[in-house]
Structures are given as structure tokens and as C-alpha cells.
Amino acid sequence: MVNPEFVDQEASVVLVGSFNPKIFHPQWFARHEIVPEVDLDGADVEIIHPEIAKFTFPWVSIEVLQNRFTARTRDVAHYSPLRDLVISTFSLLAHSPVRQLGMNLTMIHTAKDEDSWHKIGDTLAPKTVWEKSLPERIGLLSMRVQSPRTDELPGKITVSVESRPEYGVSISFNSHVDLGEDDSLYDILSEYWEKAIDQGKTICETTIREALK
């Protein structure tokens, strides 16, 4: 069984809740030793504002809205430090209400040619119905499927597939958790982050492999 090749990937943690974006600044992270001082050298601040904060360290980008926190990295070697950064941040900001958690993985596959590219779309979304009414070659742009979680956490698993330029296919996996008042973000991320990434990787690989059979 050969696994399909992926040309790029990104992991992210998304939190939905209530946040104060102007708190989030690269120096705040360094001051609290969430990141080493050396990361400040490569920090790139796009905006810090009461409604939004957006900046990057060399290995992670952070965006905070008043109702949404996102930390993401494309560096596979930093998936665990990404989790640690979120755990540390919200251990310090323990009073920030967080209602939902998303543990996400996006993997990008490039098909070897146009036929393989269409095969993926046609297998995932057969065009029989559409061919009766649409005149030309029908292509899948995006689709999203959902499934309940199988562990004890409340939430769902969502997978989305999107076409990309140059015969690319992006598969995004979202492990969504609804958090109760007594739930600990620290505990959930510590226990489920690696499982979510492994599950996401398996789903992305299986989807492409099966679609190309």
C-alpha cells in the first residue's frame, strides 16, 4: 500500500470564545517565556488592534479576533510546540472563555495529470446527476462531509476537499470539540492533539488513495 504524496501541510488550533486581541503581541509571548527570545528576531507584526491581532513568529502565525483565536504552522517539526504554545497561552489567560476547540490538519496533494485530478473529483462526487443538465465537463470545486466523534468528547469531525491550481487537491480535517464550563483546554489539548493529527493524516491519505483507485 503506497501512501499518496503531499506537497504541503499545515496544522492549526482554532478556539472560539471571547478574546482581547490587543493583549496578543510577540513581546507578550516572549515575556511569559511561551516562545524563546530568539523568536522575536523573526517576528513579523501585521497588525495589533483592539479588534484583531495578526503576526508571525518564524514557525507559527497567530491571528486573534474578538471571538476567534487561530495559531497555525506549516512546519511538521513544530506541531507539538504549536500545541504547547496554545496550552501555555490559555493557561496564562485562564479567564478567557473558550467555547469551542478545533484541532486541524490540511494536506495538499498534487495530481500527476489532469485525468488523475478529475478522477479524484469524480470518485468523491460522481457527476451522473449533473451530466443530465450541465453542458460541459463538470468539475468538483469543493465538498464538505461530517461525522460525529467516536470518543467521549462532544463535537464532530469535518473533512473538506477543495480543488487547487495546478492539479492540486487540498484536504482539510477539522476535529471540533464543544467545551463545557468545566472542561480544561490544557487537558484536552494534551490528550487529544496528537490523536487528532494522526487521525487527520490517516483520513487525508485514505481519501486520496481511495479516490485514485
Which residues in 73-132 contact another protein (CB under 8 A)? 75-78, 80-81, 84-85, 87-88, 91-93, 95-96, 100-102, 104, 106, 117-118, 120-121
Q: Name the DSSP class of 200.
A: H
Q: How far is the CB of 150 from another protein (least distance, A)?
A: 18
Q: How far is the CB of 203 from another protein (least distance, A)?
A: 14
Q: Does 14 bind another protein (CB under 8 A)?
A: yes
Of positions 51, 131, 187, 210, contacts another protein by CB under 8 A: 51
Separation CA 175–CA 102 (nearest Å): 5
Q: How far is the CB of 110 from another protein (least distance, A)?
A: 12
Separation CA 115–CA 102 (nearest Å): 34
Site for another protein in 149-188 (CB under 8 A): 158, 160, 162-165, 169, 172, 174, 176
Quick one: three-class SS letters along 26-75? Answer: HHHHHHCCCCCCHHHHCCEEEEECCCEEEEECCCCEEEEECCEEEEEECC
Q: Does 32 bind another protein (CB under 8 A)?
A: yes
| Nearest alpha carbon to residue 29 among 104, 81, 95, 80 | 81
Q: Which residue, 8 or 206, is less far from another protein as judged by CB? A: 8
Separation CA 167–CA 170 (nearest Å): 10
Q: Does 191 bind another protein (CB under 8 A)?
A: no
Q: How far is the CB of 74 from another protein (least distance, A)?
A: 8
